[in-house]
Amino acid sequence: MSVPQAPIGDDGAKEALAYGQWLFAQDCRFVIGAAQLEQVPESSLPEVAFAGRSNVGKSSLINALTGRKTLAKTSNTPGRTQQLNFFVLGERLMMADLPGYGFAQAPKAKVARWTSLAEAYLKGRPLLRRACLLIDARHGLKDVDRSIMKRLDTAAVSYQVILTKADKPSAAELSACLDQVAREIATHTAAHPEILTTSSRDGRHIAELRATLAALAAPRSPSSDQAGSAT
Ligand code: GDP
């Protein structure tokens, strides 16, 4: 099977989509659920992270991206919920699934724990290319999201807002949500200007998100892929 090349330049939209489709069809392997910083795996792969409020649709989105029904659910079983779950995709991209934040009924200690573990991870990961900050398209940004955005700005972690559950709001509500988010991210130094509007239910912009993330992954030429070594 030929390996689509990682796209170069601005004209590569089609190639980007093809590379994203190909990469996310590759093997996705669970590496570890890290409950402490010391358990965060060493890696030489480019990395992306997924963060968002509890119930934002993060597991569903990761499963939609990888085409696996249970990948993120398996790792989100109770007891693992405060862990950072790491997956390697196609030996080219490390994906980190951060615990959901903002549980209304969470005790302060639990919130502090999210903050210290996730923040230490986010600050100390030189190969972290981007954090996907998932926001429910019905609700838009909440104060807890804003506080995470400020932390990401301070840590100089590039992040991109991904709206989830876009099948739920009306077109007018969705457009108002996009306006609100666009206005706010313009004031955040580390925020990527492009917002992706996704739905795990109807599949909208899942292919585009795959392409966006694949463009951050390690490219590999077909010949070196056959040889099994990175270029
Ligand atoms: P997580 O806690 O962030 O991992 O969220 P889940 O992926 O478990 O989703 C939380 C709830 O939202 C579940 O009931 C999902 O079925 C629902 N959900 C997730 N994604 C979508 C979506 O794109 N559209 C709709 N309508 N519901 C969704």
CATH of the domain at 188: 3.40.50.300
DSSP-derived letter for residue 37 is G
CA angle 77/144/63 to nearest 5° reads: 35
Ligand 1 atom 12 nearest Cα: 57
Phi, psi of 8 (to 5 degrees): -120, 140
Ligand 1 atom 15 nearest Cα: 57
Domain for residue 185, yes or no?
yes
Query: Does 20 sit in the ligand 1 pocket, CB within 6 Å?
Result: no
Task: Provide the pLDDT confidence category of residue 104 given band limits of 50, 70 and 90.
Answer: low
Query: How much is the pLDDT for 78?
Result: 46
| Tally of domains in the chain | 1
Contacts of 179 (CB under 8 A, 6+ apart): none
Distance 60 CA to ligand 1 centre (A): 6
Domain for residue 4, yes or no?
no
Helices (H), the chain: 13-24, 58-66, 71-75, 108-123, 143-154, 171-185, 206-214, 222-227
Domain for residue 100, yes or no?
yes
Q: Are 90 and 100 in contact (CB under 8 A)?
A: no
d(CA 102, CA 3): 40
Distance 55 CA to ligand 1 centre (A): 6
Please give the span between the terminal C-alpha atoms of the chain, in angstroms, as a whole number. 18
Domain for residue 73, yes or no?
yes
pLDDT tens figures, 29-75:
999 999 999 999 999 999 999 999 999 999 999 999 999 877 765 44
Ligand 1 atom 19 nearest Cα: 57
Tell me the pTM: 0.89
pLDDT tens figures, 122-173:
988 999 999 999 999 999 999 999 999 999 999 999 999 999 999 999 999 9
Domain for residue 65, yes or no?
yes
Query: How much is the pLDDT for 55?
Result: 92
Ligand 1 site-directed mutation target among 50, 55, 56, 60, most atoms within 8 Å of CB: 60
Q: Domain limits at 28?
A: 13-230
The residue whose two tokens read 């040889």 is 227
Q: Is residue 109 pLDDT above 90, yes or no?
A: no
pLDDT tens figures, 180-206:
999 999 999 999 999 999 999 999 999
d(CA 211, CA 214): 5
Domain for residue 8, yes or no?
no
CA angle 116/180/113 to nearest 5° reads: 10
Domain for residue 215, yes or no?
yes
Task: Provide the pLDDT confidence category of residue 3 given band limits of 50, 70 and 90.
Answer: low
Domain for residue 7, yes or no?
no
